[in-house]
Chain A
Amino acid sequence: DAKTTQPNSMESNEEEPVHLPCNHSTISGTDYIHWYRQLPSQGPEYVIHGLTSNVNNRMASLAIAEDRKSSTLILHRATLRDAAVYYCILRDVGVGYGQNFVFGPGTRLSVLP
């Protein structure tokens, strides 16, 4: 399984942008990059995903390096509700049914008021 590495923890001030990095140097051509987050005492929730191009949705933006060996999740204005563990996941659609999502330990984001 392709691996991802993320900082254990990060801090941000409320209403400031947050850039959460993820390294995936062994990414393969068939790996999609997914981000999920897990709020305290809840199951994970989908944030965003991409393959090669940068992606935007109502929650966040995903910036993917040209060589795809790293990506950055961008929260444009952090709120207290964004305090969570953020997981960067590679999903290989070229293996089996492509449904084995491999979560790492993630980055715990703290948002300071």
Chain B
Amino acid sequence: DTGVSQDPRHKITKRGQNVTFRCDPISEHNRLYWYRQTLGQGPEFLTYFQNEAQLEKSRLLSDRFSAERPKGSFSTLEIQRTEQGDSAMYLCASSYLGGSSYEQYFGPGTRLTVT
């Protein structure tokens, strides 16, 4: 078990460009979450997948944001036409539906800087 991994760890992009981040959850975990965290704040929930189905989306997830989990394994988060306000740490977490575990396991995050 290597934990949740995210790629890339850092991304610098110019305003208006599109970016895509990848998350690989713990292999047996069927729940996957995306969060955004800005400096000095706690993580803000963006979206939740159960297997390949996207079941919850925050109102923070504007039309420029799209997330997928095509085969119920890894997930991608794409931001189109990036804005400076999108600069943040993007965190992915996974957990297991079933049993008694309510723990979310977080990855190290992808830090996005929009210039």
| A contact set with B: CB distance below 8 Å | 32, 34, 36, 41-46, 49, 85, 87, 96-97, 99-106
Is there contact, CB below 8 Å, between A45 and B48? no
Whether A43 touches B40, Cβ cut-off 8 Å, given contacts A97-B48, A100-B58, is: no
A104 to B40, CA, bound (A): 10
Is there contact, CB below 8 Å, between A106 and B42? yes
Is there contact, CB below 8 Å, between B42 and A103? yes
Is there contact, CB below 8 Å, between A99 and B56? yes
Contact with A105, one of B4, B41, B55, B93 (Cβ below 8 angstroms)? B41
Whether A43 touches B108, Cβ cut-off 8 Å, given contacts A34-B102, A87-B42, A100-B48, is: yes
Leading 8 A-B pairs by shortest Cβ distance:
A43-B106, A103-B42, A46-B103, A99-B48, A103-B43, A97-B55, A44-B106, A100-B45
| B contact set with A: CB distance below 8 Å | 4, 31, 33, 35, 40-45, 48, 50, 55-56, 58, 91, 93, 102-109
Whether A42 touches B108, Cβ cut-off 8 Å, given contacts A99-B33, A99-B48, is: yes
CB distance from A41 to the nearest CB of B (A): 8
Contact with B42, one of A42, A96, A105 (Cβ below 8 angstroms)? A105
Q: Which of B4, B44, B105, B106 has the most CB of A within 10 A?
A: B106
Q: Which residue of B lies closest to A43 (CB)?
A: B106
CB distance from B108 to the nearest CB of A (A): 6
A104 to B33, CA, bound (A): 17
A36 to B103, CA, bound (A): 9
Q: Which residue of A lies closest to B107 (CB)?
A: A43
Chain A positions within 8 Å of B109 at CB level? 43
A45 to B91, CA, bound (A): 12
Chain A positions within 8 Å of B35 at CB level? 103
